[in-house]
């Protein structure tokens, strides 16, 4: 299926890896609220070694902004970025109600940059929601 031009398998991989990262951070179950800003950067082909890396890049009270970065390696060639996605998960209790999550505290320059990007995405989400409500 990889290389078919359809992103289904990569979408599933992204959601799985993001879920595992969110659940580990939240120390329990978490659910996907939104998959936003998914970009396919390069095609993948059968035989590629596909690797996904995810991290919690920001948190709210109960929500977590997760960045997922997918690369592929073909034979001995260099690893190339194939997809990037940004998702929001919410930690939930056994009844499915939101529960609070620990914060994340950036230390490296890359982590500060990711945290700034989360702030931009959160602002953008709020503006978009307001604009869509006005358009109704």
Contact positions toward ligand COA, by CB under 6 A? 31-34, 60-63, 88, 90, 92, 96, 98, 125
Nearer to ligand COA, 74 or 129 (CB): 129
In whole angstroms, give the CA distance from residue 69 to residue 49.
14
The 3-class SS string of the chain reads CCCCCCCHHHHHHHHHHHHHHHHHHHCCCEEEEEEEEEEECCCCCCCCEEEEEEEEEEECCCEEEEEEEEEEECCCCCCEEEEEEEEEEEEECCCCCECCCCCCCCCCHHHHHHHHHHHHHHHHHHHHHHHHHHHC
Nearer to ligand COA, 51 or 99 (CB): 99
The least CB distance from residue 23 to ligand COA, in Å, is 13
Nearer to ligand COA, 72 or 88 (CB): 88
The least CB distance from residue 46 to ligand COA, in Å, is 28
The least CB distance from residue 36 to ligand COA, in Å, is 8
The least CB distance from residue 50 to ligand COA, in Å, is 22
Which residue number has the CB closest to ligand COA? Answer: 60
The least CB distance from residue 44 to ligand COA, in Å, is 24
In whole angstroms, give the CA distance from residue 123 to residue 99.
22
């Amino acid at each position: 299926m990889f290389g078919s031009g359809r992103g289904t398998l990569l979408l599933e991989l992204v959601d799985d890896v993001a879920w595992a990262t969110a659940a580990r951070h939240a120390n329990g179950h978490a659910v996907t609220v939104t998959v936003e800003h998914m970009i396919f950067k390069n095609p993948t082909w059968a035989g590629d070694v596909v690797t996904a890396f995810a991290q919690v890049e920001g948190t709210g009270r109960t929500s977590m902004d997760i960045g997922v970065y997918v690369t592929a390696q073909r034979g001995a060639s260099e690893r190339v970025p194939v997809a990037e996605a940004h998702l929001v998960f919410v930690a939930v209790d056994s009844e499915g109600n939101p529960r609070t999550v620990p914060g994340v505290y950036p230390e490296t320059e890359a982590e500060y940059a990711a945290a700034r990007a989360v702030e931009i995405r959160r602002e953008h989400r709020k503006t978009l929601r307001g604009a869509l409500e006005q358009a109704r």
